[in-house]
Structure 1
Amino acid sequence: MTNFDLTGVYPAMTTPFAPDGSIDHETLADDTRRLERAGVDGLVPVGSTGESATLTHDEHIEVVETVVEAAEDVPVIAGSGSNSTREALELSRRSADVGADGLLLISPYYNKPEQAGLIEHYQTIADEVDVPQIVYNVPSRTGSNIEPATVATLADHENIAGYKAASGDIGQISEVVERTREQEFAILSGDDALTLPVISVGGHGVISVTGNIEPERTAAMVHAALDGDFDSARELHHELGPLSRQLFIETNPIPVKAAMEIRGYAPGTLRPPLTELRDEHYEMLEATLEQLEATREASLGLEPAGGA
C-alpha cells in the first residue's frame, strides 16, 4: 500500500502486555482486526500510546510486524521516532522492512534541537526511507515546538506527507494549514478534544486515543465533519467529550488501558514507571463507558460494545 489517503481516523494503538510484562501478540492481533472492522482508516502502533518508550528495539519491530500481518486493508503507520537521528533512522528502516506503510516521527525530545536541527533530522530520514512520513509535534512531551515555517519547509519533501498536531494551539495549527494548503499534505489532530476544531480550519482527521475505545463513533464524527455535516459531527463530538477528557485525566496511556480492560478488549497491564489508574478515576471512567454503551444504539444503530 505505497500510496494511501491520509484522511480520517487512525487509532494510536495500545500495546497489550501479559501479567509478566511480555507483549501479548495474540491480543494485539485481535485488537488490530477489531479496529479495522469498526471502520477506522488506518492504524498507528508503537507511538506514545503504545508505550514505545519502554520497548526494546526488537520488541518495537515485533509489534509493528504483528499489526501489519493482522491488518487486511488499512495502512499501518508505525511510530519510529527518537531523539537520536541515527536511532530514528534505524527504527524507520526496520519498520518499513517489516511492512509498515508509513511512519510517525515524534520530534527529538529532551535534547531540544533548534529548528534547523529539526529540518535536518526529518529530511535525513525522509531521504533514506521511501514511505510516507508524518511529523509529530507534541511540545508537552518533547520540550520543544516545531514552528509552522519549519513544517512548511518539511512539507516540500516528497516523503513527508503529514503533520500530527498535538500542541493544543489551534492558532498555530491553523497557520500550518495555511502554509501547506497548496500541497498534498495532511494535517491530523493529535488531541481528541480538538479534532473537530482542527477539521474546521482545514485539517484532515485524527490520530486518536479515543478511537481505541469508540472507533465507530470517532469515525462517524470525523467523516461527518469532512463531508461538511457539522451538525452531526458536533453531536458526536459532545457525546465523546467526557470520554476524551477522562482518557487524559492521568498520563496517557494509563486511562486508555483501563478503558480497554473495562471493555474487555485487552488487559490493562502497564510497564513501569507507569502506574494503574487511581480508583476514583477508574470509577468515573466506568460510568462514562456505561453511558456511552447506553446511547450506542441510538447514536449509531450498533450492538453493545464488548470484547473477548
Structure 2
Amino acid sequence: MQNIFHGLGIALVTPFTANGEVDYEALERLIEYQLENGADFLTILATTSESPCLSAEEKDKITQTIIAIVKGRVPILKYCGGNNTAAVIEEIRTTDWHGIDGILSICPYYNKPSQEGLYQHFKAIAEVSPLPVILYNVPGRTGVNMTAETTVRIANDFPNVIAIKEASGCLEQVDEIIKNKPKHFSVISGDDALTFPMIASGAVGVISVIGNALPKEFSKMIRLEFNGEYEAAVKIHHQFTELYKLLFVDGNPAGCKALLNELGLIDNVLRLPLVPTRIETKKRIHDILTKMRLH
C-alpha cells in the first residue's frame, strides 16, 4: 500500500462565526483558496481544527461538507485517535469512511503508554482499519514520544500503516526512521519550522498549520526543495522564521486564526478553552504580512 499523501498537506482549521457556530461559508472559501494555491491534500478534524470542542454532529457535517467541496480533487486524511484503544477501534468500525482516503491516528495521550503499549495500540488499529493509516507522533501534546525503533517496527509489521506525521522536533529521530523504514513507508513533517530540513533528509511533505493561510508560498518552498533548488527554497523558509514562532506562541490554532483573519478569510473566533492571540502577537503578524507584501 503506497502513500498518496505527499507535498503540502493542510491541517485544516474550523472557522467559526462571531456567535461561535461553525462557519460553513468560510470553510468553503478557505478550502477553495488552499486548493487554488498549491495544497496537495487536506487533513481534517485533527488538533488544528479544535476537534475536542466539536460535537459529533458538527464533525459529521464538517466531514460531509469538505467531501462535497473537494469533489475528489485532492486526497482527504481524517483524524481518528485517542487514548482508549477500544473506543478508537469502535469509532473506526462504525464510521462511514466514504470519500475519505486515509486515517491519521495520534499516539495515546495523558496515560503515557510504554513503547510496547504504543505498538499494541497501533497494531489493533491497523488490524481493523479499512483505510491506510498515518501515525501521529507529537510528544509535546501527548506526553510520550514514540521512538524511531517503535515506528519502524509498526511500519514493518503492518503494510497498511503507510506514514508517520512526525512532530517530535528531533531531527536525529527523523533521520533514524528514514534510514531504517521499509520502502512503502513515508515520513511527513508535523512541524512547519522543521519542514525544510526534514524534506532535505527525505521526508515526503508536511501537514502544515501555516499552509492554511499561505499555501502558495509554502508549497513553492516544498516544490523547489523537491527539485533540488535548495538555495531558492531556503530563502522562503527564512522568510517565515518569525512567523513560525508567532503562530504557536499563544497556542495553536490561535496564531493561525489570527493570520487568516488578517488575510480576511475567517473571523478570529476560537472555542474555549482556547482564546485568540494577544493583541501584540496579532500586531506583529500584521507587520510581517505587510513587510512580505502579503497583506
TM-score, normalised by the number of residues in structure 1: 0.90
1:223 corresponding residue in structure 2? 223
CA contact (8 A) 1:81 1:105 kept: yes
Cα 1:125–1:281, aligned 2, differ >3 Å: closer, same or farther? same
* 2:83 aligned with 1:88: no
Considering only aligned residues, what root-mean-square deviation do their CA atoms show, in Å? 1.7
Matches within 5 A, 1:263-278: 263-278=263-278
Residues 201 and 95 of structure 1, relative CA distance in 2, 3 Å threshold: farther
Aligned residues: 293
C-alpha distance in 2 between matches for 1:121 and 1:37: 38
Residue 37 (structure 1) aligns with: 36
Q: Distance in 1 between matches of 2:268 and 2:90?
A: 30
The 1:204/1:274 distance shift into structure 2, 3 A limit, reads same
- AA at the equivalent of 1:104: L
Correspondence 1:51 to 2:50: yes
Does the aligned pair in 2 maintain the 1:4–1:75 contact within 8 Å?
A: no
* Alignment check: 8 A CA contact 1:155 1:161 kept: yes
User: What residue number does 1:159 align with?
Assistant: 160
Distance 2:88 2:244 in 1: 30
Return closer, same or farther for 1:56/1:91 CA change in 2, 3 Å cut-off: farther
Aligned residue number for residue 284 of structure 2: 284
- 1:176 alignment partner in structure 2: 177
- 2-side partners of 1:212 and 1:231: how far apart? 24
SS of equivalent to 2:193 = helix
Letter in 1 for 2:23: D
Q: 1:76 and 1:251 mapped to 2: Cα distance?
A: 25
Q: Distance in 2 between matches of 1:97 and 1:189?
A: 25
Give the 4+ runs in structure 1 shifted more than 6 A: none
Structure 2 counterpart SS, 1:155: helix
**Counterpart amino acid of 1:13?**
L
2:278 is matched by which residue type in structure 1?
R
| Alignment check: 8 A CA contact 1:92 1:103 kept | no
- Distance (whole Å) between structure 1 residues aligned to residue 193 and residue 94 of structure 2: 33
Letter in 1 for 2:162: A
* TM-score, normalization by structure 2: 0.94
**Alignment correspondent of 2:189:** 189
Runs of 5+ in structure 1 lacking a partner? 297-304
Question: Unpaired segments of 5 or more residues in structure 2?
Answer: none
- Equivalent residue letter for 1:120: Q
- 1: distance between equivalents of 2:291 and 2:225? 24
Higher relative contact order (CA 8 A, sep 6+): 2
